[in-house]
């Protein structure tokens, strides 16, 4: 899955599980922020799903977040990371490559693949893009229909405006 689907999944997780948004959204992006540069820029792994797209990384980072930011953020991190891995697992059945969830504890025949954004996007099949689009549209529809999120945006915007007027006085 790519950025829109991961963001949509994180948003849905915060709505359904009532998790900390910072932890959920940060964790939802974390595996790609680690694995893509390690593969695409440094060429240190056989594909762009090692080492952060694993249960070991999920567990270690959740424990680190719990120690650093506390229980609420760690719950969000746990949910966001899990949602990221679940989304990628769904797509792994529609595209080349796979998820290596138990690496390095289990040996896998590794898919050698993409070396950059263009080659990564070339791996996506129409069915995968349909799943991504449907998930993104679902999250957008829920967000647009949500009074809570719209009120939060209005409150922040008006607060920012008051702050800007106060600063200029």
26-40 residue pLDDT tens: 999 999 999 989 888
Flag the least confident range among 111-120, 136-145, 149-158.
149-158
pTM comes to: 0.79
Q: What is the pLDDT of residue 164?
A: 56
Residue in 159, 157, 144, 151 with CA at minimum distance from that of residue 11 = 144
pLDDT at residue 163 greater than cutoff 70: no
Determine if the peptide bond prior to 104 is cis (ω within 30°): yes
Segment 11-37 shows an average pLDDT of 95
Segment 107-120 shows an average pLDDT of 77
Contacts of 18 (CB under 8 A, 6+ apart): none
Residue 89 near residue 83 (C-beta atoms within 8 A): no
Exposure pattern of 139-152 as b/e (b: 16+ CB <10 Å)?
beeebeeeeeeeee
Flag the least confident range among 130-134, 139-143, 152-156.
152-156
Give the chain's mean pLDDT: 85
Tens of pLDDT, residue by residue over 71-99, are 999 999 999 999 999 998 887 766 656 78
CA separation for the pair 116, 45 (Å, rounded): 13
Contacts of 157 (CB under 8 A, 6+ apart): none
Q: Give the H/E segment covering residue 81.
A: helix 71-92
pLDDT at residue 11 greater than cutoff 60: yes
Residue 80 near residue 10 (C-beta atoms within 8 A): yes
Torsion of Cα atoms, 71 then 73 then 77 then 79, to 10°: 70
């Amino acid at each position: 899955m790519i950025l829109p689907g991961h963001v949509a999944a994180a948003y849905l997780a915060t709505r359904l599980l009532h998790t900390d948004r910072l932890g959920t959204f940060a964790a939802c992006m974390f595996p790609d922020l680690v694995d893509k540069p390690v593969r695409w820029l440094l060429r240190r792994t056989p594909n762009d799903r090692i080492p952060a797209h694993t249960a070991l990384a999920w567990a270690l980072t959740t424990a680190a977040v719990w120690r650093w930011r506390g229980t609420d953020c760690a719950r969000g991190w746990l949910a966001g990371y899990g949602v990221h891995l679940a989304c990628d697992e769904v797509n792994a059945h529609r595209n080349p490559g796979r998820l290596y969830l138990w690496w390095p504890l289990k040996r896998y025949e590794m898919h050698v693949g993409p070396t950059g954004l263009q080659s990564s996007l070339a791996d996506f099949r129409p069915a995968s893009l349909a799943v991504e689009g449907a998930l993104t549209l679902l999250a957008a529809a829920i967000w647009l229909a949500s009074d809570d999120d719209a009120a939060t945006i209005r409150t922040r915007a008006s607060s920012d405006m008051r702050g800007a007027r106060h600063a200029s006085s």
